[in-house]
């Protein structure tokens, strides 16, 4: 069975900015899905902020193995109940790939437990993305580095938790560096943050970026779901593995 990837796109800049519309006539989400479709093992679909329930319906999440999230201008417009729904699916084992300015999305900050702040500059400068973990599956097929001629700068410090792995580090013409490819695990879910992807530049037409995204979807995929992680059942004394005798003081009413 192919991996079912869902690309979540904010779809705001495409409607308001001609440069973005010219770069991405099928939308950024559509172009990302097109890149993913170059892997025969991936079936990609798209949803947007404007869809009912922001496209993150229970039914859609049921058929999503890996979710890719790009947001920027409308983070605050994402309903908190939908955020919790997505986060719970990640905890259960759905993969998540957070792209570029998605670092400030409610979903990513909720999973990281930090502000996810950074330095930035929009000057169309060159980004050199170094592969610092060449044996990692997400880096498969890449050289020592690749370059994007025009990108927005993100600079350290990046206020996220220490990652499970650092796959990429970026250098910018202005001299800054940034940890631009980071992996995490939350519950049973694999998470990858990938920095490039500013809306006014043609980043998602780059062949190396497409390779990273396809590799990341394959890496993040987990066929199993662990719904039991959403429960916190009480285990009565008479159900304990070993025989015990209840003792000590306790509240008359235990929280459920």
- What's the confidence (pLDDT) of residue 250? 74
Crossing angle of helices 27-36 and 207-220, in 10° steps, is 70
pTM of the full structure: 0.94
- What's the confidence (pLDDT) of residue 96? 98
- What's the confidence (pLDDT) of residue 256? 55
- What's the confidence (pLDDT) of residue 253? 60
44-53, 79-88, 207-216, 225-234: least confidently modelled range: 225-234
State which fold the 3-116+181-229 domain adopts: Rossmann fold (3.40.50)
- Is the confidence at residue 106, as pLDDT, over 80? yes
With b meaning 16 or more CB within 10 Å and e meaning fewer, what string describes 141-163?
Answer: ebeeebebeebbbbbeebebeeb
Model confidence pLDDT, tens digit, residues 126-185: 999 999 999 999 999 999 999 999 999 999 999 999 999 999 999 999 999 999 999 999
Model confidence pLDDT, tens digit, residues 183-231: 999 999 999 999 999 999 999 999 999 999 999 999 999 999 998 999 9
- What's the confidence (pLDDT) of residue 127? 98
CA angle 233/236/242 to nearest 5° reads 115
* Beta strands across the sheet bearing 95-99: 42-48, 3-9, 66-70, 95-99, 189-194, 177-186, 165-172, 119-131, 145-155
Mean residue pLDDT of the chain comes to 96
Model confidence pLDDT, tens digit, residues 21-33: 999 999 999 999 9
Q: What region does 124 belong to: left with phi over 0, alpha with psi -120 to 50, or beta?
A: left
Helices (H) and strands (E) in the chain, counts: 7, 9
Q: With bands split at pLDDT 50, 70 and 90, how would you rate the model's confidence at 79?
A: very high
What does the domain layout of the chain look like in residue ranges?
3-116+181-229
């Amino acid at each position: 069975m192919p991996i079912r990837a869902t690309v979540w796109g904010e779809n705001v800049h495409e409607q308001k900015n001609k440069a973005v519309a010219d770069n991405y006539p099928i939308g950024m989400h559509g172009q990302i899905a097109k890149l993913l479709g170059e892997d025969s093992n991936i079936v990609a679909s798209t949803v947007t902020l404007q869809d009912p329930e922001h496209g993150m319906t229970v039914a859609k999440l049921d058929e999503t193995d890996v979710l890719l999230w790009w947001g920027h201008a409308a983070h605050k417009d994402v309903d908190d109940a939908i955020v919790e729904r997505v986060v719970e699916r990640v905890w259960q084992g759905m993969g998540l790939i957070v792209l570029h300015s998605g670092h400030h999305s409610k979903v990513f900050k909720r999973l990281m437990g930090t502000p996810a702040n950074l330095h930035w500059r929009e000057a169309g400068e060159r980004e050199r993305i170094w592969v610092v973990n060449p044996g990692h599956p997400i880096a498969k097929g890449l050289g020592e580095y690749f370059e994007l001629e025009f990108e927005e700068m993100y600079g350290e410090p990046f206020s996220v938790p220490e990652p499970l792995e650092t796959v990429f580090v970026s250098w910018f013409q202005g001299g800054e560096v940034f940890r631009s490819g980071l992996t995490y695990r939350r519950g049973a879910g694999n998470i990858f943050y990938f920095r490039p992807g500013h809306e006014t530049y043609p980043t998602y037409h780059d062949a190396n970026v497409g390779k990273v995204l396809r590799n990341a979807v394959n890496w993040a995929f987990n066929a199993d779901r662990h719904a039991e992680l959403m429960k916190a059942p009480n285990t009565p004394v008479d159900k304990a593995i070993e025989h015990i005798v209840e003792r000590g003081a306790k509240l008359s009413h235990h929280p459920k």
